[in-house]
Amino acid sequence: MVTTVAPVATVGRRSRAGLVLTIVLVALALIAPLLVYPVFLMKALCFALFACAFNLVAGYGGLLSFGHAAFFGSAGYVTAHAAKVWGFPTELAIVVGVLAGTVLGVVFGWIAIRRQGIYFAMVTLALSQMIYFYALQVPFTHGEDGIQAVPRGHLFGFIDLNQTMTMYYVVLAIFLIGFAIIFRTIHSPFGQVLKAIRENEPRAISLGYRTERYKLVAFILSAALSSLAGSTKSIVFQLASLTDVHWSTSGEVVLMSLIGGLGTVLGPVVGAVVLTTMENYLAQFGSWVTVIQGVIFVLCVLTLRSGIVGAIEDVLRRRSRRKAAPGV
Amino acid sequence: MSDFILRTEGLTKEFRGFAAVRDVDLQVRRGTIHALIGPNGAGKTTVFNLLTKFLPVTAGRIFYNDRDITGDRPADIARRGMVRSFQISAVFPHFTVRENIRVALQRVLGTSFHFWRSERSLEGLHARADELIEAVGLTEFTNVAAVELAYGRKRALEIATTLALDPEMLLLDEPTSGLGHEDIARISALIKEVSKTRTILMVEHNLSVVAELSDTITVLTRGHILTQGRYEEVSKNPEVIEAYMGTGHG
Ligand SMILES: Nc1ncnc2c1ncn2[C@@H]1O[C@H](COP(=O)(O)OP(=O)(O)OP(=O)(O)O)[C@@H](O)[C@H]1O
Ligand SMILES: [Mg+2]
């Protein structure tokens, strides 16, 4: 009977540990701009949110999208255009960007959701390439130059975002809200079905779940949150450019999630921080960055198959099981 | 309502010209245990896949409770009350035993799309889940991940998960395959118990289980029905013996 009791106790301990970890991380994020260059931190936070959004479909829904840059980049363009050309207040510009990316998510999802595995990846890649070429052609994106000098403006009319520190805390708040939405989604009745589908789709179907609908909802949510990340980034950097809709950005978010740990809550955050840091410090090596990244990626995949966070979780789980063992 | 809960007319499935199932007329009487037997590759699993719409039919029609379900989608079949199990045990490996069952129970709450609601809202289902867990003798594994269970226990969990939907009809694909003697006895007893209030169609290779449990038997070879009837009649049929001997089944 001990076996029934022990895991419950571990669950309690685990959620308490999770709470402590959350508090420590938030505290760290609050003081971080005093220690590290805030613009770098904001970039990391935008990518962290993007990676978490990607992880929702890839890690929990089992759908390997290779077109997420379309949402991230398009939302950035729309927000930048709305803020600069239409003169929208910042918060409204972000809302419009998120809406645009979400609509795109509905369309992509509608077309791709019935495809499995590599076919799903190919369809999403093809669709996002169409967006890229569209962005390259239409005048409002300003081609290679991108939309520059986007005004950061005042949030709700009174919070001056031109202050770097203020901007940082706003970005942190946006990240935390996005992260909370994702966390709740994963731990909701919906998340439970989504995980069941990832675990064994035929079984989920045989239990009466119309699995494509769940995958579609997850995909749209993910597109919306990726858009939020992209819109925020265009405000932070006052720039929306082709890089953000390019397929390499889709690839980067896949890398971040894989390195950090696909299907773990914190993995994408860790992956995003690691990759952004790497890009920052390796910038001096010029085009070697890609090569060095490639090598690190291969090493990561070979040694830590479930990513950095996945590996840590494995170690902790093994330790707690060993501790529980004598009781059983 | 007719005596037959499930009926097929001329059920046929071709894979690139190869007829895996050919002109099958199956009638399953309400409240009985009906066994579908036959040598390897006879098309038994394919029939299951057709009945549950996991595969589209090439020709023929399927009636469930006198209603034509040939054009339904697989998830709808479960909603009508016909739930299948799989030949290779199908559980959600990284869910605990309780979570496996809970995911089957939660659909009727109607909150399965609520991504804003806490998972705690599902805790009300634990009492029912634990009853089902007890019914299949898995109580001490309630919080163990399904992947860590022995094979026989996975099969028991699968049946409990199926029962969680309170189906009118169960399709079981080789429920005792890969099990030891004790597990076979336990699963057969469970099937017998369950059949008191439901209809069961099962594929089964273990003939003593078939003999013990089934009211009616349909023998399938090379995709078509060789014969059907009660166990005593069917087992004496020289063609059946031939078909089984030919492929090494006892
Ligand atoms: N998806 C498929 N594509 C092509 N051929 C298939 C497919 N599924 C089954 N078959 C073929 O159809 C035939 C019947 O297979 P099926 O799995 O239904 O047999 P079975 O009676 O369940 O056998 P077993 O006792 O081994 O489980 C086999 O020859 C198999 O190779
Ligand atoms: Mg079979």
Closest CA to A76 of A36, A49, A106, A55: A49
Q: What is the average per-residue pLDDT within A153-171?
A: 86
Q: Do A184 and B161 touch (CB under 8 A)?
A: no
How much is the pLDDT for A180? 95
Length of chain A: 328
Tokens of A157: 């009319």
Q: How confident is the model at residue A6 (pLDDT cuts 50, 70, 90)?
A: very low
Integer Cα distance of A227 and A49 in angstroms: 10
- Buried b / exposed e across B96-114, counting CB within 10 Å, b at 16+? bbbbbbbbbbbbeeeebee
B78 → closest Cβ in A191, A207, A213? A207
- With contact defined as beta carbons under 8 Å apart, do A229 and A111 qualify? no
Task: Quote the minimal CA–CA distance from A256 to chain B in Å.
Answer: 24
Whether the per-residue pLDDT at A328 is higher than 50: the answer is no
The reported pTM is: 0.89
How much is the pLDDT for B229? 87
Q: How confident is the model at residue B214 (pLDDT cuts 50, 70, 90)?
A: very high
- With contact defined as beta carbons under 8 Å apart, do B202 and B34 qualify? yes
Q: What is the average per-residue pLDDT within A164-183?
A: 94
Strongest mean pLDDT among A153-157, A300-304, B199-203: B199-203
pLDDT digits (tens, 9 = 90+) for B162-179: 999 999 999 999 988 888
Q: What is the mean pLDDT of chain B?
A: 90
Where does chain A have alpha helices with state H?
Answer: 2-35, 38-55, 69-84, 90-112, 117-137, 164-186, 189-199, 201-206, 211-236, 247-260, 267-282, 288-303, 307-324
Q: Are strands B59-64 and B67-68 parallel, antiparallel or unpaired?
A: antiparallel
Whether the per-residue pLDDT at B207 is higher than 50: the answer is yes
Q: Do B115 and A7 touch (CB under 8 A)?
A: no
pLDDT digits (tens, 9 = 90+) for A244-292: 999 988 989 998 998 888 888 898 999 999 888 888 887 777 777 778 7
Map residue A155 onto helix, strand or coil: strand
Q: What is the average per-residue pLDDT within A34-43?
A: 90
Strongest mean pLDDT among A155-164, A171-180, B190-199: A171-180
- With contact defined as beta carbons under 8 Å apart, do A273 and A28 qualify? no
How much is the pLDDT for A11? 52
Map residue A209 onto helix, strand or coil: coil
- With contact defined as beta carbons under 8 Å apart, do A238 and A149 qualify? yes
How much is the pLDDT for A302? 79
Residues 6+ apart with CB under 8 A from A189: B106, B109, B111, B112, B113, B114, B117, B119, B121, B122
How much is the pLDDT for A13? 61
Integer Cα distance of B93 and A199 in angstroms: 7
- A107 in B contact zone (CB under 8 Å): no
Q: Do A187 and B112 touch (CB under 8 A)?
A: no
Whether the per-residue pLDDT at B247 is higher than 80: the answer is no
| Candidate from A21-30, B74-83, B132-141 with smallest mean pLDDT | A21-30
CATH numbers and ranges of domains, chain B: 1-81+168-250 (3.40.50.300), 89-166 (no CATH)
Whether the per-residue pLDDT at A139 is higher than 70: the answer is yes
How much is the pLDDT for A182? 95
Identify the residue whose C-alpha is closest to ligand 1 atom 6.
B15
How much is the pLDDT for A160? 82
User: How far, rounded to the nearest angstrom, does the alpha carbon of residue A286 sit from its chain's CA centroid?
Assistant: 26
Strand partners, B172: B202
- A195 in B contact zone (CB under 8 Å): yes
Closest CA to B6 of B38, B51, B42, B46: B51
The 3 state secondary structure assigned to chain B is CCCEEEEEEEEEEEECCEEEEEEECCEEECCCEEEEECCCCCCHHHHHHHHCCCCCCCEEEEEECCEECCCCCHHHHHHHCEEECCCCCCCCCCCEHHHHHHHHHHHHHCCCCCCCCCHHHHHHHHHHHHHHHHHCCCHHHCCCEHHHCCHHHHHHHHHHHHHHCCCCEEEEECCCCCCCHHHHHHHHHHHHHHCCCCEEEEECCCHHHHHHHCCEEEEEECCEEEEEECHHHHHHCHHHHHHHHHCCCC
Task: Quote the minimal CA–CA distance from A137 to chain B in Å.
Answer: 38
Integer Cα distance of A301 and A129 in angstroms: 27
Q: Say how many Å lie between the CA of residue B215 and the centre of ligand 2.
A: 21
State how far the alpha carbon of A82 is from the alpha carbons of A26, A87, A147, A242, in Å: 31, 6, 11, 17
Tokens of A60: 């929990």
Q: Do A206 and B73 touch (CB under 8 A)?
A: no
How much is the pLDDT for B127? 94
Each domain of chain A, given as residue ranges in start order, spans 32-246
Identify the residue whose C-alpha is closest to ligand 1 atom 29.
B41
Task: ipTM value, please give it.
Answer: 0.89
- With contact defined as beta carbons under 8 Å apart, do A50 and A253 qualify? yes
Whether the per-residue pLDDT at B250 is higher than 50: the answer is no
Q: Say how many Å lie between the CA of residue B171 and the centre of ligand 1.
A: 17
Q: What is the average per-residue pLDDT within A205-214?
A: 94
How much is the pLDDT for B105? 95
Closest CA to B247 of B233, B232, B226, B229: B226
Closest CA to B220 of B26, B5, B10: B26
- A138 in B contact zone (CB under 8 Å): no
Integer Cα distance of A96 and A234 in angstroms: 13
Q: How confident is the model at residue A1 (pLDDT cuts 50, 70, 90)?
A: very low
Whether the per-residue pLDDT at B29 is higher than 70: the answer is yes
Task: Quote the minimal CA–CA distance from B233 to chain A in Å.
Answer: 34
Q: Which of residues 217-236 of A touch B (CB under 8 A)?
A: 217, 221
Map residue A247 onto helix, strand or coil: helix
Q: Say how many Å lie between the CA of residue B200 and the centre of ligand 1.
A: 21
Q: What is the average per-residue pLDDT within A37-53?
A: 94
Provide the residue type at A43 as one letter.
K
How much is the pLDDT for B1? 66
How much is the pLDDT for B138? 92
Q: Do A3 and B86 touch (CB under 8 A)?
A: no
Q: Say how many Å lie between the CA of residue B202 and the centre of ligand 2.
A: 11
Q: How confident is the model at residue A177 (pLDDT cuts 50, 70, 90)?
A: very high
Integer Cα distance of B135 and B132 in angstroms: 5
| Candidate from A107-121, A272-286, B50-64, B146-160 with smallest mean pLDDT | A272-286
